[in-house]
Structure 1
């Protein structure tokens, strides 16, 4: 039997991170779970044990805190003596026009998504280089390749994650068994949309086609074994990226009216909220969100628009 891997997952309390941790557990790996909230991590640990993890280690960690990430990596090494794969999934969202999102919330998105990824790389890559093998896989987004309305902070953070991947690959080409992986999901049914900070007046929802966290996690885990697989997780991503890159004027005319219809719920107005950007909200952590059927949601939004009733 193969030796179980030591797999560290950030953002392991919810959504893609939780699904990935459970998938690693199902493969019989040692799983190190990191996220901000202890209660949600404990629940995730129970799921991993039930799935068949070789062992579990819970380390509450704010990835935006460099010292906390250093302590996380240290705890994993103290327990296992090595890291075979680190999957960086931690992420938060803020909705709102660039000028409408408060500075602390805007910076909070960058702190978790981009600075958190840098912090993970800063402390993981030296370990992999000392071992002369191992994998760091960063979970980006289709939105790291395009622009969309009312998500400036998230867009900037995910473009930054993709740039970080490129830099790390250049800097580590001398060690062929140290791999820097990257995946870009499209719409995934996770709680990130309803947990988001919101200054746009509408609740976000995953745009179609919508994948399950479990399916996305399986695709992530496949890339640990086959790192040359494409980063984009759906063919729809490639179509959208092509339009944004090669037909920018057409894309810009389409995305502005489509985004509210396909990626929000115009029937559910909401007031300003910091969501889970500045602090964990354990009550909202779960494997999946509850966006309803994507097509039904689009139909509802079109009806809302035709009635002329838009949230202010």
Structure 2
């Protein structure tokens, strides 16, 4: 039996690829976007198997309304893909406050809002899969991504907590953590860069040069990532986190190696703070 999907951010990028892959596989989909007219071609191609709805994920009422559209059309929701999101590169002190807040609201609170809206349905069904589109940036930090990567770290933590809450009900949750994908994300991320203060040239300036060399040459194929999402929706024991792409695997491994090395270097200080520990706090390790 086919599953019913609800996908946020469906008009372009990975969300669009996931919607198209699900429909091509015979699934039923509520595809949502801020401008649902961008999805009219899917309705023309797939007819009653796809419905569209306007959804700004930062609006909890809109999230509940979208879930109701899916229920009215298909009677259930089996798979939620929290895909809507964006990022902008800038030093924190040069990033407008409303832009920082918008990135956190969309990338993290949007995931929470739509998940909260769909949970009563999945709880009643005693089944469901929730795929949170995060990033390898949810495992590491890069200069210039203070809002975006902070939100993705939060998505990873949210996924960890919710897996424990939902597992006894029969609901699975996975954070997808791709590296660079050919979705035009890099161009959008670099679209609002301010004139950098000179102090940020060594960090964010260097990142921008690297990004300029990387955009258009990404390793990740969003169509293949969409196929992974399809398979996860039928898996009985999906992982909490799934890195996607050779670059994601490399950068996550590098970050983990650095964390482990720092933990070992500072272990004496870590252990010195327990009650009953004898002696002074040890000397701080030097670089």
TM-score (norm 1): 0.72
Equivalent position to 2:253, from 230, 238, 242: 242
**2:229: which partner in 1?**
220
Q: Which has the larger radius of gyration?
A: 2
> Structure 1 residue 67: deviation in Å?
0.7
- Structure 1's unaligned 5+ residue stretches are 252-312
**1:31: which partner in 2?**
29
Runs of 4+ with >3 A deviation: 200-209, 248-251
Moved more, 132-141 or 198-207: 198-207
Equivalents in 2 of 1:100, 1:118: separation in Å?
Answer: 28
Equivalents in 1 of 2:160, 2:116: separation in Å?
Answer: 15
2:250 is the alignment partner of 1:232? no
Residues 79 and 130, structure 2, Cα contact 8 Å, conserved in 1: yes
> Structure 1 residue 121: deviation in Å?
1.1
> Structure 1 residue 82: deviation in Å?
0.6
> Structure 1 residue 214: deviation in Å?
1.0
RMSD of aligned alpha carbons: 2.3
> Structure 1 residue 98: deviation in Å?
1.1
Residues 90-105 of structure 1 mapped to structure 2, 5 A cutoff? 90-105=84-99
Higher helix share: 2
TM-score (norm 2): 0.78
Equivalent position to 1:166, from 160, 164, 172: 160
2:4 is the alignment partner of 1:6? yes
Equivalents in 1 of 2:129, 2:109: separation in Å?
Answer: 19
Equivalents in 1 of 2:51, 2:76: separation in Å?
Answer: 14
Deviations 1:179-224 (A, max 9, x none): 1122111100112222335225559565665212212211222211
Residues 4 and 79, structure 2, Cα contact 8 Å, conserved in 1: yes
**1:261: which partner in 2?**
none
Deviations 1:139-167 (A, max 9, x none): 11000000011111110110011111011
